[in-house]
Amino acid sequence: MAIEDAEQELWRRYHEDEDAAARDYLFLKYAPWARRVAGGVMGRVPLRGMEWADHVQNAQIGLLEAMSRFDVRRGIEFTAFAKPRVRGAIFNGIRAFMRSPADRSMDTVASDRAQSLWETDDQDPLDGFIDAVVGLSLGYFLENGSDAGDVDSLRIDRLLGDVLLDLPSRQRQIVIAHYFHHRQFQQIAEDMHVTKGRVSQLHKSALAALRDALRQRNAVRDSFF
């Protein structure tokens, strides 16, 4: 029996016969892949205080959910089907960690940022998740720059400065105060005489505008920003 046929049979046994052994085999096969997805998220969105094991556990939760929903008859690669769900579970874990009472000592600046980007309103949940990932990646780049030192990275650093200057005044003020001076949204709100919620909205809009400007100038690949 071909490998592909053997795996199809395992999926059939798992879903139709509720075969625990088939489920466990499939889980063990894809668990290393789920860990790599967790590693990719952790590398893009470093979060102080959250352990690697927590990211892996959340990835495994997403993997199990994806396995339960996967229909092999549709002819889709499992990893392509599962990746958004595994990433979603990882980010759900990050969101729960940041909102838990245990994280009181965590950097409020980072918490403000993440909550702003996860305010999806009526947006499609998957689109909201993608936008949050992109926004966090761009925010990390704004705050830390690039340590690669190659020509492309230096070019992006310069372009970021240029597009920042093109932002509307209030958006630019928020980005500079938050990412360069590490000020909390509440502090920025008091300086600007607006609500914290308004600062959060302007922050999210500013990152979207920065991303669009960089894409228009062909500065980055869509897969990153």
Per-residue pLDDT tens over the stretch 21-74: 888 889 988 998 999 999 888 877 766 677 888 888 899 999 999 999 999 888
- pLDDT class for 79, splitting at 50, 70, 90? very high
Last residue of a domain, one of 59, 75, 103: 103
pLDDT tens-digit map of 118-128: 665 555 555 55
Residues 87 and 37 sit within 8 Å (Cβ to Cβ): yes
Q: Are residues 76 and 172 in the same domain?
A: no
Q: What torsion do the CA atoms of 133, 135, 140, 143 make, to the nearest 10 degrees?
A: -170
Query: What's the domain range around 179?
Result: 108-216
Which pair of structure tokens corresponds to residue 27? Answer: 């889980």
**What does 33-95 look like in DSSP terms, one character per residue?**
HHHHHHHHHHHHS--TT--HHHHHHHHHHHHHHHHHH--GGG---HHHHHHHHHHHHHHHHHH
Examine residue 222 and state whether it is found in any structural domain, yes or no: no
Examine residue 112 and state whether it is found in any structural domain, yes or no: yes
Q: Are residues 172 and 123 in the same domain?
A: yes
pLDDT at 73: 87
Q: Are residues 120 and 211 in the same domain?
A: yes
Phi, psi for 151 (deg, rounded to 5): -60, -45
Q: Are residues 142 and 63 in the same domain?
A: no
